[in-house]
Amino acid sequence: MAELVVSMAIGPLMSMLKDKASSYLLDRYKVMEGMEEQHKILKRKLPAILDVITDTEEQATAHREGAKAWLQELKTVAYEANEVFDEFNYEALRREAKKKGHYAELGIDVIKLFPTHNRVVFRHRMASKLSRVLQAIEVLIAEMHAFRFKYRPQPSLSKQWRQTNCAIVDPHEIARRSRDKDKRIIVDTLLRQANNADLTVVPIVGMGGLGKTTLAQLIYNEHEIQKHFQLLLWVCVSDTFDVNSLAKCIVEASPKKNDDTENSPLDRLQKLLSGQRYLLVLDDVWNRETHKWDMLKMCLQHGGTGSAVLTTTRDQQVAEIMGANTTHTLNALDDSFIKEIIVARAFTPEKEKPTELVELVGEIVKRCSGSPLAATALGSVLRAKTSVEEWKAVSCSISICTKETGILPILKLSYNDLPSYMKQCFAFCAVFPKDYNIDVEKLIQLWIANGFIPEHNETNGRHIFNELASRSFFVDIEKINDDVVDYSRTTCKIHDLMHDIAMSVMEKECVVAAEKPNQTEWFSDTVRHLFLSCREPEVILNSSM
């Protein structure tokens, strides 16, 4: 069966444009003077496009290339049109501030910071921009009719909304029971190496979504392990394996980190580990370049007797390159645990489980190939389905997970099943690096600032986050208390496979700027959101703009 294509979630972007184009401020402060006719035409055209968005996205996910290309062009035009109306609305707010005397309140020095606004120049410049947007919309409307996209009403917010408790199933509790044997084997292996002068390397190898990281967490937090090792370190590696950057991350992960920034990261790492019996977890390793691992390993070997590196990877060859003492291959989760996850996710606890639906669970279990993440995603999709026909449709829409496809088809189905505004909220998270600790409150504020949240309030933002968390789009949700400033915050992460889904939706629209990025590669015309993780970001931005 062909792999599912992820929906581009353009509906919310067009709805946002429709709201901006209908703002009362535009008429009140006459910022579109001389452009009234184009404005009226645009306000008539936008609902016509919104009417067919649902049908077009369904066709695009069904591999109709024409629909996909049309949506991509619509997305480009929608972004440009949103920017144009941002300028109109900014000018309206500027005129409102001037009329209400807010300029004077700011002081004369601040007034000088504002550029001179000539209304004739503004009208001429914006009329040209609006004309280009309208022409592009006219072309899209003509193609819309040519493709015969059909009217499909978008579900109302009340019908889409499905509040869910994100703690229906505790994945760590199931992992503790289902992976106890695996944990015991690896813990015993690490403890047996107490008198081994050589560095012990133990990779956990398995398909994405099997729970390798969760198993590593169980081992890392095991009382015997915490007691045995003098120093415990955890670093997520993911796609890049830059030796100096990785060495720096390992040092920064230590409570005993040194501030000897004059020396190289490798020297700092060697100093940190010297004489210490440590356990280092390198999570999600992909690197196949032997010389890089050898360079890092030379430093790691300066630890005390019995030191060990525990890694998680999907690639057996990576385990071989790292010179593993013993490789632990993580097998598929037993069907009984997969069934437990699906049933817990698919049925509301307080309601009776329909027998005809329960009987279909067995067939759906086979689709998951022992992956707890796939089971969670499928169970969450089924939660909104109430008939046998809907459950069978879900079961038939995906193929059984294989080594080639992994569980991505199931995760894409889970993403496509989201309401459009939730798709946009999650897809935006592609702007964060993999394994980044996201501040949940800040994330919700970013959603609001970008206009992604219905009714633009924090309560809706929290409901959206909880729903996405219940479907495992967000994991490792943790409340952190800071007693010093009497402040608590909630953080979360995105599973790396879910991050891949977000990246496939946003393509080149989200970019992470790390230390010394190559601007010609990362700062293209398609970029809409930037994550700056570097020193002197203004230097990078100024040179790129």
pLDDT tens track for 380-405: 999 889 899 999 999 888 776 666 67
| pLDDT score of 508 | 79
Q: Is residue 393 part of a domain?
A: yes
- SS3 call for 492: strand
Q: Is residue 499 part of a domain?
A: yes
Domain-ending residue, one of 395, 416, 437: 416
- SS3 call for 530: strand
| Nearest partner of 433 among 214, 249, 210, judged by Cα | 249
Alpha-carbon distance of 365 to 342, in angstroms, equals: 8
* CB-count exposure of residue 448 (10 Å: 0-12, 13-18, 19+): middle
Q: Is residue 163 part of a domain?
A: no
Q: Is residue 236 part of a domain?
A: yes
| pLDDT score of 292 | 92
On whether both 20 and 126 belong to a single domain, the answer is yes
Alpha-carbon distance of 56 to 486, in angstroms, equals: 50
* CB-count exposure of residue 118 (10 Å: 0-12, 13-18, 19+): exposed
Contact 247, 271 (CB under 8 A): no
pLDDT digits (tens, 9 = 90+) for 295-306: 999 999 999 999
| pLDDT score of 85 | 96
More confident residue, 516 or 537: 537
Average pLDDT, stretch 93-100? 88
The number of folded domains in the chain is 4
Give this prediction's pTM.
0.84
Q: Is residue 160 part of a domain?
A: no
Average pLDDT, stretch 256-277? 85
| pLDDT score of 242 | 87
More confident residue, 523 or 508: 508
Contact 200, 297 (CB under 8 A): no
On whether both 493 and 538 belong to a single domain, the answer is yes
Q: Is the pLDDT of residue 526 over 60?
A: yes
Alpha-carbon distance of 194 to 306, in angstroms, equals: 4
Contact 335, 365 (CB under 8 A): yes
Alpha-carbon distance of 220 to 229, in angstroms, equals: 10
On whether both 122 and 210 belong to a single domain, the answer is no
The H-or-E segment that residue 486 falls in is none
Which residues contact residue 69 at a Cβ distance below 8 angstroms, ignoring those fewer than 6 apart?
A: none
**pLDDT confidence of 111, banded at 50, 70, 90?**
very low
The Cα angle at residue 269 between residues 267 and 273, in degrees rounded to 5: 120
pLDDT digits (tens, 9 = 90+) for 163-183: 444 444 565 678 789 999 999
Alpha-carbon distance of 174 to 464, in angstroms, equals: 25
Q: Is residue 3 part of a domain?
A: no
The CATH number of whichever domain residue 483 belongs to comes to: 1.10.10
| Nearest partner of 365 among 379, 383, 348, 351, judged by Cα | 379
Q: What is the CA radius of gyration of the chain?
A: 27
Buried b (16+ CB within 10 A) or exposed e, 286-318: ebeeeeebeebeebbebbeebbbbbbbbbeeeb
| Nearest partner of 318 among 200, 405, 186, 203, judged by Cα | 203
On whether both 361 and 275 belong to a single domain, the answer is no
Q: Is the pLDDT of residue 11 over 60?
A: yes
pLDDT digits (tens, 9 = 90+) for 51-84: 998 888 888 877 788 898 999 999 999 999 999 9
Which residues contact residue 65 at a Cβ distance below 8 angstroms, ignoring those fewer than 6 apart?
A: none
The label of the residue with tokens 């970029």 reads 527
Domain-ending residue, one of 275, 299, 329: 329
Alpha-carbon distance of 208 to 274, in angstroms, equals: 34
**pLDDT confidence of 123, banded at 50, 70, 90?**
very high
On whether both 131 and 106 belong to a single domain, the answer is yes
Average pLDDT, stretch 279-284? 96
Which residues contact residue 434 at a Cβ distance below 8 angstroms, ignoring those fewer than 6 apart?
A: 236, 238, 239, 284, 494, 496, 499
On whether both 180 and 322 belong to a single domain, the answer is yes
The CATH number of whichever domain residue 219 belongs to comes to: 3.40.50.300
More confident residue, 94 or 444: 444
Q: In what order do the strands lie in the sheet with 200-205?
A: 231-238, 278-285, 308-313, 200-205, 328-329
Most confident of 115-124, 331-340, 483-492, 511-520: 331-340
pLDDT digits (tens, 9 = 90+) for 330-373: 999 999 999 999 998 898 876 788 999 999 999 999 989 899 99
Domain-ending residue, one of 329, 359, 382: 329
On whether both 250 and 296 belong to a single domain, the answer is yes
Q: Is the pLDDT of residue 159 over 50?
A: no
On whether both 245 and 201 belong to a single domain, the answer is yes
| Nearest partner of 42 among 181, 145, 135, judged by Cα | 135
On whether both 300 and 201 belong to a single domain, the answer is yes
Whole-Å CA distances, 90 to 27, 109, 121, 188: 13, 21, 16, 64
On whether both 34 and 134 belong to a single domain, the answer is yes
pLDDT digits (tens, 9 = 90+) for 408-441: 889 999 998 998 889 999 999 999 998 899 999 9
Token pair of 532, please? 């700056």
On whether both 412 and 441 belong to a single domain, the answer is no
Token pair of 46, please? 């936008």
On whether both 21 and 124 belong to a single domain, the answer is yes
Alpha-carbon distance of 157 to 419, in angstroms, equals: 9
Percent share of the chain, pLDDT over 90: 57
For 209: left if phi > 0, alpha if psi spans -120 to 50, otherwise beta; the answer is left
| pLDDT score of 326 | 85
pLDDT digits (tens, 9 = 90+) for 27-45: 999 999 999 999 999 999 9
SS3 letters across 296-352: HHHHHCCCCCCCEEEEEECCHHHHHHCCCCCCEECCCCCHHHHHHHHHHHHCCCCCC
The label of the residue with tokens 């992820």 reads 6
Domain that holds residue 382: 343-416
Instruction: Supply the DSSP string of 112-145, one letter for each residue.
Output: TTSPP--HHHHHHHHHHHHHHHHHHHHHHHHHHH
Q: Is residue 164 part of a domain?
A: no
Token pair of 126, please? 């914006």
pLDDT digits (tens, 9 = 90+) for 461-470: 999 999 999 8
Tell me the pLDDT of the chain averaged across its residues: 86
Q: Is residue 315 part of a domain?
A: yes
